[in-house]
Amino acid sequence: MYRSHPNVSEGRCKKGPDTWGLVSEHCSGRSQSPVNIVTRRALQDERLTPLHLTGYQETFHSLIMNTGHGVKLDLSSKMRIQGGNLPATYKTIQLHLHWGKDGGLGSEHLIDGEQFPMEMHIVHIKEKYDSLSEAVTDRTGVAVLGFFFQTNMTKYFRYEGSLTTPDCAEAVVWTVFEDTIPLSRKQLTAFSQLQFSDGKPMVRTYRPVQPMNERPVYYSRGHVASVSTMLLILAALVPSALSLHTTA
């Protein structure tokens, strides 16, 4: 069962995503995430050119944290993404992970109904904003890169959606990469050893897919995205999870 988001009291959210509409009206909106991406319905879009990343190669200091409701790594705001028909330049704020139980299925997005063991979200906000809470007031104020673990990563999908935790603001430009990142069963299972703030096993930390409500999904033509530096982050991130401790 998906546990509470830090901005929502445990008591009001402990029953899981089905009750989030009672917590925030946004969670019952018509542009919610995640979704099941049906590839044969995706519209090929010539504007989805390579994403351009800057600052990802620079060294920065941060801590990977078990926040009591998930795993998060704060990122340097010097990292930027642009291109790929994004409406602005965005700066990073953090990345976090969603997973299942004991290495089982746990991604949030699905591709043609297929779920993957884990999904990583790298969260960005427009340069002009100072915080996520400020950015979500803008319909395209947030840009999230979504990666599946299972690497080519040359093709991606684009659609407009929401945050996947309350308040579920519909202010996200989603870029979901089709290809997956390999990860061993042992590494995946390690995340199931973490605990929520109430001491229960931290498993199934994903939100179920939401209705598309006739939203279009666009598909790139196989342009290469500059994501090799992200993989360096991942290489250091996953083994580190073995020794995480709850900080909230």
E strands along 38-155, which residues?
A: 43-44, 51-54, 64-66, 71-74, 80-83, 90-99, 110-111, 118-126, 142-149
Q: Are strands 71-74 and 64-66 parallel, antiparallel or unpaired?
A: antiparallel
- Do 24 and 7 meet the contact criterion of CB atoms below 8 Å apart? no
**Catalytic-residue membership of 121:** no
Contact by Cβ (8 Å): 170, 47: no
Candidate list 26, 69, 96, 124, residue with the active-site label: 69
- Find the largest Cα–Cα distance for the chain: 48
Q: Residue 199 contacts by C-beta under 8 Å, 6 or more apart in sequence?
A: none
Report the DSSP beta bridge partners of residue 172. 142, 161
Separation between Cα atoms, residue 178 and residue 106, nearest integer Å: 16
Q: Strand 110-111 relative to strand 36-37: parallel, antiparallel, unpaired?
A: parallel
- 15 phi and psi, to 5 degrees? -80, -5
Q: Which residues are catalytic?
A: 69
